[in-house]
Structure 1
Amino acid sequence: MTGKTLKENELVKFLANADKAIVGIEIIDKDILDQLPKLKLISKYGVGLNNLDLDECKKRNIQIKFQPGSNKQSVAEFTLLLMLNSLRQVHNNKTEIIEGNWTQAKGQELKGKKIGIIGFGNIGSCLVSLLKPFGNKILFFDERKFSSAEIDKFNDKNLKQASISEVLSTSDIVSIHIPLSSGTKNMINKNAFKQMKESIILINTSRGGIVDEVELYKFLKNNNLAFASFDVFEHEPAFKSPLLKLDNFFASSHRASLTEQGIESMGIAAINGLGD
């Protein structure tokens, strides 16, 4: 572990003699693997696998170890934070006070909002548990069909599986919790935005690239009732993203999982993945 993200040359140098490696967000593609003939196992720090060329790893019989859900509590809590901030716009208030503006802007309550969750894995389902005190109606979309018995385990009569179209068109807040893959790339596109309410709040704490950021910009630019809060971007760091210039867009720097507890949980999972 180096404590920093390694680029191609320094990554190859660091792993040159390793047969096992813990990898965070570093890109492990064919070019990298060609230079690491001894590598036999990759243990993932964190839960996303989109930075690994899984096909190349399979061809070379390189094992991939990862622990889904190791950061679920931290990310779900951060998602709830973004929901509340999107409704209350707290992030601007300190600057306003410093500038001499004692602004007392009205916000909205989370209670009574219909929540749409895209992806009902570890984080999406954890979010449902956090939302329970608010009594929201919750629709979730997932590729896997959940049985009534599985849904009943949440003991929430307001929870229902729905189509992606129903989630997008009827929700007040939509939160994204799916991995980035060839099938989910730009999944939230122009057609998806056309289905959303004008006052939609869109939250993304999963992966950049799932939302078409060009179409998101157009949607927000032309619709000041909508709001989006993103912790992830297609290209990071996103210093030059035009989205940052919009008043109805809030950004954070891919930090949803970064709590002391979340870091420890992901670290232990990555170490355990190395085996003996």
Structure 2
Amino acid sequence: MAPKVLVSDKLSETAVQIFRDRGIDVDFMPELGKDKEKLAEVIGNYDGLAIRSATKVTEKLLESATNLKVVGRAGIGTDNVDKVAASKKGVIVMNTPFGNMVTTAEHAIAMMFAVARQIPEASASTHAGKWEKSKFMGVELTNKTLGVIGAGNIGGIVCRRARGLEMKVNAYDPFLSEDRANELGVRKVELEELLEKSDFITLHVPLIEATKNILSRENLAKTKKGVRIINCARGGLVDEVALAELLKSGHVAGAGFDVFAEEPATENPLFNLPNVVCTPHLGAATTEAQENVALQVAEQMSDYLMTGAVTNALNMPSVTAEEAKVMGPWLKLAEHLGAFTGQLTDEPIKAVNILYDGGVAEMNLEALNCAVIAGMMKTVNPDVNLVSAPLIAADRGIKVSRTTQPKTGTFDAYIKLTVVTETRERSIAGTVFSDGKPRFIQIKGINIDAEVGQHMLYTTNKDTSGIIGTLGQTLGENGANIANFTLGRTEVGGDAIALLYLDEALPNATREKLAETGLFQSICPLEFAVS
């Protein structure tokens, strides 16, 4: 019997035809996604569900989805899908992360032109029968300096388009390599320099803890007088209240915003200010982008349902069912190793070397490589998955290599990850014990035995007395409970490390108190997805 797919949102007829051409029985009901009760009644009849944003795939809906195997989201955002519940049900969640990159980049460029020439205001004035030619004096983009915060997929396209407009482009992105910067024709700079020298600033980063409020009141105050700011990425990257004040004072000459901290945005501090262009989250709203993502999701879902091939899955590795039984814990370990280095590395990564020792060297190394890179890249891009991770790494100029070797040493198998930057190499190794739990077994060449927890603290110091007492006392006095405590050193008086498993995330204030002791070379809170 042919697989059955329900299309419950508005996809193009061409996309629907792809399902039919691939031998899939498809029902096209584009309004059904808005009726959650009716959708719940029929969802049990389908193997696949193709959606946009109107359909909400909740835990309750999934309870009725007795035959569902895959949900395909035409677009990048999957906030309308309960991915945890889907994973528990064994339902794959796919998206199409690369279908609207050009469209979003073009919208940012369009916003720059609109703000530079005050086009919306001038248009409204002219429509009103006024002829205020002298009122709308603009500026050229040519020879202006554009600061691009985030030079990944979309940001990279913006860099290229801006260079075509003969702009000087500075890019701030901790994961941007010099080779990639040269390829894009941009200067790689620190955020401080970008703020001080940019005539225009455009943001192209996801909203994560590291980027939240990246243009804070403090950072906005550091910008060049007359700067124009564009945000077509995510709401919450800019302090909108502070920006509104700087627009009123004249320090900021204009702004173009497609996204807002709260959406739908019916009111906002930026609304009704002169030379502020606002659009209702239109970054992906072009005919071409909507068609591209629809065609992509139809192809991906058809591939999976007809051949078992998995593409752009957010909650499943690219491995067979047989492999998954054995590889599951190793995939999790690989992700933890990547997450460890990703959270500690604050400069561009040039190369990643992965050593597979013993039995793990016989597994699906492509999937394990992807898990390492995905764990590492999630610190800057939470939407990365096992399939998109290699593409994102390659796009940033990161060279990934792997080595295999027969069993050596104590463990039957282990994975060792080495990350290379301009100034240093950082390595970490781990294994999976017989209980199926990943463990860290070596950091910086220092042997340890550390259980992986959701909240951890990593410190480095010179081997000296008082470290254990200071850690225990400072954490205890500030309400941080230690679940596990692992120490290691190279030699007496040499380099030493500590890795602590905490019950809760370490507050910044506690980290500052540890720093005040002067005993530690580095103090790094870490977070791991252990569920």
TM-score class normalised by the smaller sequence: 0.7 to 0.9
Partners of 1:117 and 1:138 within 8 A in 2: yes
SS at match of 2:147: strand
Structure 1 pair 76/272, CA: closer, same or farther in 2 (3 Å)?
same
Instruction: Tell me which residue corresponds to 1:151.
Output: 181
Name whichever of 43-52 and 82-91 sits farther off.
43-52
Note if 1:187 corresponds to 2:218: no
Alpha-carbon distance in 2 for matches of 1:50, 1:120: 24
Who is 1:72 aligned against?
Answer: 101
Q: Which runs of 5+ in 2 are unaligned?
A: 1-7, 12-29, 306-531
Residue pair 2:9, 2:54 contacting (<8 A) in 1 also: no
- 1:12 deviates by 6.2
- Select 2:75's aligned residue among 46, 70, 83: 46
Identity %: 26
Q: Is the 8 A contact 2:207 2:236 kept in 1?
A: yes
Are 1:115 and 2:142 an aligned pair? no
Q: Does structure 1 retain, via aligned residues, the 8 Å contact 2:228–2:253? A: yes
Report SS of the residue matched to 2:270: helix
- CA apart distance, 1:10: 3.4
The 5 Å alignment of 1:170-209 reads: 170-209=197-236
Taking structure 1 as the reference length, what is the TM-score of the superposition? 0.84
Whether the 8 Å CA contact 1:47–1:66 is kept in 2: the answer is yes
1:180-205 CA-to-partner distances (Å, cap 9, x unmatched) read: 23443333222221221221111111
Partners of 1:115 and 1:174 within 8 A in 2? yes
Cα distance, 1:63 vs. partner?
A: 2.7
**Aligned-residue CA RMSD (Å):** 2.9
Distance of aligned partners of 1:225 and 1:208 in 2 relative to their CA distance in 1, 3 Å threshold? closer
CA drift at 1:115: 0.6
Q: Which structure: larger Rg? A: 2
- What amino acid sits opposite 2:217 in the alignment? K
More divergent stretch after superposition (52-61 vs 195-204): 52-61
- The answer (yes or no) to whether the contact 2:62–2:86 under 8 Å persists in 1 is no
How far 1:7 moved relative to its partner? 12
Secondary structure of 2:35's aligned partner: helix
Asked if the contact 1:7/1:26 (under 8 Å) is kept, the reply is: no
Q: Which moved more, 1:12-21 or 1:198-207?
A: 12-21
Distance (whole Å) between structure 1 residues aligned to residue 107 and residue 93 of structure 2: 28
Q: Secondary structure at the match of 1:219?
A: helix
Report the AA paired with residue 151 of structure 1.
A
Q: Does 1:81 align with 2:110?
A: yes
**Letter matched to residue 75 of structure 2:** G
Aligned mate of 1:3, from 1, 10, 34: 10
User: How many Å apart are 1:27 and its aligned residue?
Assistant: 8.6
More deviation, 225-234/42-51 = 42-51
**Whole-angstrom CA distance in 1 between matches of 2:210 and 2:90:** 24
- In structure 1, C-alpha distance between the alignment counterparts of 2:261 and 2:55, rounded to whole Å: 14
Distance in 2 separating the partners of 1:187 and 1:28: 31
Cα distance in structure 1, aligned partners of 2:141 and 2:263: 30
**Quick one: distance in 1 between partners of 2:257 and 2:274?**
13
Deviates more, 1:199-208 or 1:180-189: 180-189
> TM-score of the superposition, structure 2-length normalised?
0.46
Match status 1:230 vs 2:261:
no
The answer as to 2:131 corresponding to 1:102 is yes
Going from structure 1 to structure 2, the CA distance change for 1:107 and 1:145 (only over 3 Å counts) comes to: closer
| Equivalent residue letter for 1:33 | E
Q: Which moved more, 1:88-97 or 1:108-117?
A: 88-97
CA contact (8 A) 1:69 1:123 kept: no
1:33 has 2:47 as partner: no
> Structure 2 vs 1, CA of residues 57 and 223 (structure 1 numbering), >3 Å: closer, same or farther?
farther
Structure-2 separation of matches of 1:72 and 1:166: 27
Amino acid at match of 2:131: W
> Aligned equivalents of 1:59 and 1:147: distance in 2?
42
* Aligned mates of 2:241, 2:88 — CA distance in 1: 35
Aligned to 1:196, the other structure's residue is in SS state: coil
Q: Contact (CA 8 Å) 2:34, 2:55: kept in 1 or not?
A: no
Asked whether the 8 Å contact 1:50–1:180 carries over to 2, the reply is no
Aligned mates of 1:200, 1:71 — CA distance in 2:
28
CA shift digits 1:152-191 (9 cap, x unpaired): 333x3xx122222222222111111112234433332222
Report the CA distance between 1:82 and its aligned residue: 0.8
Where does residue 14 of structure 1 map in the other structure?
A: 39
Q: Closer, same or farther in 2 for the Cα pair 1:57/1:214, shift >3 Å?
A: farther
Deviates more, 1:203-212 or 1:46-55: 46-55
Higher strand share: 2
Tell me which moved more, 1-10 or 81-90.
1-10
Q: Distance in 2 between matches of 1:11 and 1:219?
A: 45
Letter in structure 2 aligned against 1:180 = L
Distance in 2 (CA, whole Å) between partners of 1:193 and 1:7 is 45
Cα pair 1:48 1:179 within 8 Å, conserved: no
Please list, as runs of the form range in 1=range in 2, the aligned pairs for 1:245-256 lying within 5 A after superposition. 245-256=272-283
Q: Distance in 2 between matches of 1:142 and 1:85?
A: 26
Q: Give per-residue Cα distances to partners, 1:90-149, cap 9 Å, x unaligned.
A: 11223222333212132110001111111112211111222223222111122313242x
Answer whether contact 2:203 2:233 (CA < 8 A) is retained. Answer: yes
- Please say if 1:131 is aligned against 2:156: no
Separation in 2 of the partners of 1:87 and 1:76? 17
Q: Is the 8 A contact 1:88 1:107 kept in 2?
A: yes
Aligned residues: 270
